[in-house]
Structure formats: C-alpha cells, structure tokens
C-alpha cells in the first residue's frame, strides 16, 4: 500500500493506559525519525475489519484477532503475517482452579459442576480452557455448567476484570472452578484475591502464544521492517521507554511466530466461534 | 509454608562449579516464593544459574510464569537436581542503569548536600539511588546557597524534643483575679498575637511546598515551625476567650503590615522580615508578657511560645548568616526590602492604639495612676529593648551599627 500517511497502527482501547502507551511510543518513534501514528478501536472485531479495509497498516492483535484476521485474509486470497510479539506473549498456559478443600481430583470430577470463565471472547479464560476440557472428554455446557463473566466483550479478555470476577466467585463458593491465565493466577495471589493455599490447579492447558503485531500482504514491506527493527531495539534499560514497556507488560519485543496459535485455531473450530472464512459464528456474539 | 528457620534457603554449593541451590520446601508462588527466588538471583548476579527446589505441586509452572513476566530464563532440570534452573535476566538490573546517587542521607558526609539538586530527583530521599526518568517537579527553592544551613538538623531535633501539649503544659484552671479593664487589655493583646501568628504560620507554610526535598532538614524545620505557630494560635485564642470576653479589635493597619509579609515572594527576604525583624521583636514582647502579665496563665503561655519563637529566630539567623557570607549582595537586598516595606506602610497607622494602651494596662496590673505610670514606663523599656535587640541581630548579619540603627528604626511600628 502506498499512502502518504504515517505508518499507522490499530490498537484496542481496553483501558485508558492504551493512550499513554501509544502516545509514548509515537514520541519515541519520532525520535528515531520514523513517522508513526495510531488508531484506537473500541473492540477487536472492529479493528480486524478496519485492518482488512486498509484503515491501518498494522494491528496490535489479541490471539483471537490474529485468528480472525488470518481467516478473513485467507478467504479473500490474501495473507496475514505475525511480525512481532512481547516476550510475555510466548508459552503461556491457562489453568482451571478449584478450591483446595474441595474433593475434585481430576477434570472428570467437574461433571455436573459449575465452571466460571471470563468473557465469551477471552482466549485465555474461555475459549482455550473450554476446548481443553472438551479435549478431556467434558463437553462444555453439557458435562458442566458455564458461568461466564462477560466483562467488556469484543475486547477479547484483555480486561482482567472477567477473570478476577470468576476467581472471586470460586473463592466465595458460588462456582466449583474458575479459568484464568497463569500470570493472572500469580497476580490474584499477590493482590490477595486468592489467599495462600486456598485454591489449586485442577488442570492446565498446553502452552500457547498471546498477542501479536499483524500485517497484511499489502503493507509497505520497508516500513514494516523498520517498525519491527525499532521494536526489537527497545531496551528495558532505556529510562524513556521503560515505563511504556512496563505499562504494556513486557521486558523485550520478540520476532513474531505463529506456532503458538494452533491450539486457539482448534479451539475456535471446536467451539464454533468463527467460521473457516473468519465469519462470526458464536451465538450471541457480539452482544 | 516457609522453609525451616534454621536452614538458610540458598545453598551456594560445595564448589564453584556447582550451581547454587534454593530450597523452597512447600512454599509456592501463592505464598510468596518469588521473594526468595528474587533474593537468590540478586545474590548470584553475574549470569550464575540458581537451581530451585521445592515440593509445591505447581512450583515449575508458577516459576515459569513468573520468570516470563520478569524476563528471567527458566529451564526445567531433572528431578534428582531440582525443579528448574533460573538465570537472571538483564531487565532485573535495568532500573539501576544510569541511576544516580542523590547525595548522602547524612548531611555531614562529604558531598551529601549538593549545590543544586536536579528537578528529576523529585521526591526521592536524599542519598537514594534514583532511577532515571520520571517526573521532574519544579521546586522553586533548590539552591543550596539560598536556603541551607548546617544547623538545620539540630534545630529540628531541638524542636521535636521540646514540643508541648497545650492541654498539659498549661494549667488553664488557674484563677484570673484582676478586674475587667485589665482583662480586656489581656484579650486585646491576645487578639493582636493571634493575627500575628497567623502570618507567622502562612509565610513558612507557603515556602514549605517550594523547597526541594533534597534539603530535607530545612523542610522539617519549616514544617515544625508551622506546627508551632498552629499551637500558638490555639493558646493565644484560648487565653483570649477563657474569661468570656472573646477576641477584640483587629485593625486595618495591623493586617496591612502583616499582609506585606505574606506577599513577599523571595524566601530569604520573607524569612528575614518575618523571623529576624518580626519574631525577633516578638521575643522582647513575649518576654515582657512573661514578666508582667497579671495572671499565671498568660505568663505561662508567653513563656512557652517565647521558647519556640527563639528557635525560629535562631534558625533564620543561621540561614541568613550563611547566605550573606556566600552572597554578600544579600544584605543590600534585605535593606531595600526593609525600606520598601517602610514606604509601603507609611500610609497605615502602625500599631493599634488599643494594643499599645492594652500593654500599658496589662503591665500596670491595676487601674490607679501610680500603676499606670509604672506600666507606661515598662512599655517604654519594652520598645527600647525591641530596638536594641533588633539592631544586635542586624549587626550579626553583617550590617554596620549605623546601618543597623537606621534599618531598625524603619521596622514596622506594628512589631511583626
């Protein structure tokens, strides 16, 4: 794509800090003589559409947004590429937590029980753990009840609120299990939502990857290369960029990879969230 | 959930070739395990791996998640060795890259108090290692020559050691036996003191927020000075109202004189006018009240407040003596300020007549002619004492006796 606009990134406004982050990066890129701007979308579905429509040159995508972008692109005979991600996006796991005092011994014991999840479109707190339980022979919604905490749907679970509410429901005895990402389990322990020793891990998903910088095949290759080069050059030891990296939750950027999305692709198919062509097939979504 | 107390969790190994081991026992990341891992990595900086051992069922998974967040390497090891080997990532030490030591906490150490602390040190404690970046607040008073004194710490220590509780230090139940005219005089003097102490509170309070925190001891002295004045306002008000007469007249001239102190924007000038000229003069007045007040409560109030005011004056003298030594043109600035204030206040009436007369009555103690003559003489002595003490302080600041006499004579007739 040849345009006169600065290299423009799409990001989802899941929190006010998103403005701080991208304003800060914009200033930092300007210092590197790289013309950069950003557009904020209210949700990932709008961002994916905007990307396909050429509104932006690159998107900072949730893993689910990557899956949809890839499918929509493929259906249109195009190609999507994952070009960069955070060090903290690689090899994550999700856990199904239960109360330590409960007698549940393995996943099969969830039969007839209630499992709390985050938002319907949260990969880490809904899609991946539901698909994981399904792979263990438990059909979600049939073998066990699902209590979803739909905080900010279309933001793909970026907002931690859904997982926190699910965990509180577990601790308060309202549900029998709760699905969260491993890093949030540590966070909830640290902030006191989970008392030491109060919960245990019943089962854990295999490792998967999280967010990615996505480009389509019509992006300006030189600009993409320069953008990625600058991302990878950001150092946590740089006091100007460190606060931004802290807000974005990383110590270093890494080159993109797609090997960590196979599990989510399978989960999306298993749960019927998107069609093979990237169409939305999940019932009641978006609300 | 913690390791046995007699076992040191980090075992450095028997030989250099052996990797240090951290034994966590049953402690998990839901109970604070990361604290010990972090300590072990700090102790083993320089690329050495630490082998983490423990029995918590989720230790490896939680350790991996934590290491990912922190930028550390985490490699599982065989069960006979432990759970995983952790290698400290570069990010762990990033905050100290380019960090600067903000002087030294102990003011007497060499280089402890710098000439002009950078705005970026902000609220960091003096002596701390300051991570670069972050806010750079504009503390207007950030020049050592303009506000520092080596004696600030000892003044602060004196202040904290001599704080007093008005409810305990003063026996408010002691009787007032003098007549109504004398009591009204006491009330008028107390009213005058309260509004003067308001100025003595507002002026340092206004500068307090402008002092760079690097000059911690100066901040502390100003803060305790404000607290002193708040207490003085309390006791003078309480004495003014304890017999039911309530506060008396507040004049335009008195308030105009005090407002000229509050409006002074320069720190050294304001503290000179307030403490050296004003509070210094008040030392004489409070000494007068301590000696001649007609009742024990007033005498005790004057005694306690005078002790605090003496410290305020001594602090400003110490600061200004140093400042004038380093910047000889300061004296000319201060002299101009006295002259300017004198001209500005020429249109006002000076000391409230009611206050002057009240001092005579108060020192007389009785309403008969002989007592009044006695009280009158005591007030004359007070005014002479005020002028002489003021001149003495000006000479200590380096003014010649002639200059001191002239400047003293230009001081506001309102005392403060």
Q: A69-128 pLDDT, tens per residue?
A: 999 999 999 999 999 999 999 999 999 999 999 999 999 999 999 999 999 999 999 999
Q: Which domain holds residue B124?
A: 98-138
Residues 6+ apart with CB under 8 A from B346: none
In angstroms, the CA B406 to CA B143 distance is: 31
Q: What is the arithmetic mean of pLDDT over B226-246?
A: 97
Smallest CA–CA distance, residue A47 to chain B, in Å, is: 27
Asked if residue B354 belongs to a domain, the reply is yes
| Residue B63: closest C-alpha in chain A | A186
Q: What is the arithmetic mean of pLDDT over B242-257?
A: 90
Residues of B in contact with A90 (CB under 8 A): 68
Predicted pLDDT at B3: 41
How distant, in Å, are the alpha carbons of B41, B58, B390 from that of B26? 20, 10, 73
Measure CB to CB from residue B65 to each of A186, A194, A243 and give the nearest one: A186
SS3 A208: strand
Residue B14 predicted with pLDDT over 60? no
Listed residue (A138, A129, A130, A137) closest to A92, CA to CA: A129
In angstroms, the CA A96 to CA A200 distance is: 8
pTM of the model: 0.83
User: Same domain for B338 and B375?
Assistant: yes
Predicted pLDDT at B12: 64
CATH of the domain spanning A7-89+210-271: 3.40.190.10
Q: Which residue has the tokens 């924007």?
A: B265
Higher pLDDT among residues B276 and B186, named by residue? B186
User: Same domain for B272 and B125?
Assistant: no
Residue A216 predicted with pLDDT over 90? yes
| Residue B133: closest C-alpha in chain A | A239
User: Same domain for B328 and B257?
Assistant: yes
Q: Taking the domains of chain A in order of start, what are their residue ranges? A: 7-89+210-271, 94-204
Q: Can you tell me the ipTM of this complex?
A: 0.89
Asked whether the beta carbons of residue B133 and residue A87 sit closer than 8 angstroms, the reply is no
Predicted pLDDT at B354: 86
Asked whether the beta carbons of residue A236 and residue B90 sit closer than 8 angstroms, the reply is yes
Residue B5 predicted with pLDDT over 60? no
Smallest CA–CA distance, residue A105 to chain B, in Å, is: 14
Question: Per DSSP, what are the bridge partners of residue B211?
Answer: B141
Q: Which of A91, A251, A252, A253 to mutate to test the interface with B (most CBs of B within 10 A)?
A: A251
Q: Which of A99, A198, A242 to mutate to test the interface with B (most CBs of B within 10 A)?
A: A242
**Domain A7-89+210-271 matches domain A94-204 at the CATH topology level:** yes
Residues 34-53 of B with CB under 8 A from A: 34
Residue B276: count other Cβ atoms within 10 Å of its Cβ: 22
Chain A touched by B371 (CB under 8 Å): no
A94-204 architecture in CATH? 3-Layer(aba) Sandwich (3.40)
Structure tokens at B351: 């000391």
Predicted pLDDT at A3: 54
What CATH number corresponds to the domain at position B82? 3.30.110.40
Smallest CA–CA distance, residue A1 to chain B, in Å, is: 36
Asked whether the beta carbons of residue B62 and residue A92 sit closer than 8 angstroms, the reply is no
Predicted pLDDT at B13: 58
């Amino acid at each position: 794509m040849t345009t006169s606009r600065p290299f423009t990134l799409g990001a989802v406004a899941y929190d006010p800090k998103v403005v701080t982050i991208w304003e800060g990066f914009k200033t930092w890129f300007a210092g590197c003589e790289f013309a950069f701007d950003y557009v904020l979308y209210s949700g990932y579905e709008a961002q994916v559409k905007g990307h396909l429509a050429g509104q932006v040159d690159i998107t900072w995508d949730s893993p689910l947004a990557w899956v949809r972008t890839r499918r929509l692109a493929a259906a249109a005979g195009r190609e999507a590429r994952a070009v960069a991600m955070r060090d903290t996006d690689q090899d994550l796991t999700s856990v199904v937590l239960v109360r330590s005092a409960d007698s549940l011994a393995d996943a099969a014991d969830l039969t007839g029980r209630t499992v709390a999840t985050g938002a319907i479109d949260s990969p880490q707190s809904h899609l991946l753990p539901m698909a994981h339980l399904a792979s263990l022979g438990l059909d979600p919604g049939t073998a066990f009840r699902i209590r979803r905490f739909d905080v900010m749907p279309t933001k793909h679970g970026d907002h931690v609120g859904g997982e926190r509410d699910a965990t509180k429901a577990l601790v308060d005895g309202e549900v029998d299990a709760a699905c969260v990402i491993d890093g949030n389990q540590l966070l909830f322990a640290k902030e006191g939502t989970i008392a030491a020793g109060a919960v245990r891990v019943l089962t854990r998903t295999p490792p998967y990857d999280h967010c990615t910088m996505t480009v389509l095949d019509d992006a300006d290759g030189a600009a993409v290369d320069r953008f990625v080069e600058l991302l990878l050059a950001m150092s946590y030891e740089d006091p100007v960029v460190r606060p931004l990296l802290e807000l974005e939750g990383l110590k270093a950027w890494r080159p993109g990879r797609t090997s960590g999305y196979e599990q989510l692709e399978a989960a999306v198919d298993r749960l019927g969230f998107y069609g093979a062509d990237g169409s939305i097939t999940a019932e009641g979504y978006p609300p | 959930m913690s390791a046995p107390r007699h076992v040191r969790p980090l075992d450095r190994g028997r030989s250099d070739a052996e990797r240090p081991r951290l034994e966590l026992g049953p402690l998990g990341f839901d109970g604070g395990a990361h604290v010990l891992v972090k300590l072990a990595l700090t102790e083993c900086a320089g690329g050495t791996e630490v082998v983490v051992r423990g029995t918590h069922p989720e230790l490896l998974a939680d350790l991996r998640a934590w290491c990912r967040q922190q930028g550390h390497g985490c490699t599982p090891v065989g069960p006979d060795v432990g759970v995983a080997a952790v290698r400290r990532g570069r990010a762990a030490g990033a905050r100290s890259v380019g960090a600067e030591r903000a002087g030294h906490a102990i003011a007497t150490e060499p280089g402890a108090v710098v000439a002009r602390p950078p705005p970026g040190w902000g609220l960091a404690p003096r002596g701390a290692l300051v991570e670069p970046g972050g806010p750079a607040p504009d503390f207007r008073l950030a020049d050592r020559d303009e506000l520092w004194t080596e004696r600030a710490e000892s003044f602060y220590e004196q202040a904290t050691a001599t704080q007093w509780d008005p409810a305990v230090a003063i026996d408010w139940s002691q009787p007032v036996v003098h007549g109504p005219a004398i009591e009204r005089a006491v009330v008028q003097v107390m009213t005058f003191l309260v509004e003067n102490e308001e100025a003595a509170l507002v002026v340092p309070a206004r500068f307090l927020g402008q002092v760079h925190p690097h000059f911690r001891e100066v901040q502390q002295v100003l803060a305790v000075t404000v607290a002193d004045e708040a207490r003085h306002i309390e006791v003078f008000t309480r004495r003014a109202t304890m017999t039911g007469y309530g506060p008396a007249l507040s004049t335009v001239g008195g308030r105009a004189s005090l407002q000229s102190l509050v409006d002074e924007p320069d720190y050294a000038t304001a503290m000179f006018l307030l403490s050296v000229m004003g509070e210094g003069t008040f030392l004489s007045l409070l000494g007068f009240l301590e000696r001649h007040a007609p009742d024990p409560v007033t005498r005790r109030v004057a005694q306690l407040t005078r002790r605090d005011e003496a410290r305020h004056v001594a602090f400003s003298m110490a600061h200004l003596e140093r400042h004038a030594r380093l910047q000889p043109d300061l004296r000319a600035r201060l002299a101009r300020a006295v002259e300017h204030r004198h001209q500005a206040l020429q249109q006002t009436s000076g000391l409230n007549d009611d206050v002057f007369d009240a001092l005579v009555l108060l020192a007389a103690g009785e309403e008969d002619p002989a007592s009044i003559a006695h009280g009158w003489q005591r007030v004359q002595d007070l005014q002479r004492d005020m002028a002489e003490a003021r001149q003495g302080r000006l000479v200590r600041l380096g003014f010649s006796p002639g200059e001191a006499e002239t400047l003293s004579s230009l001081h506001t007739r309102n005392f403060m």
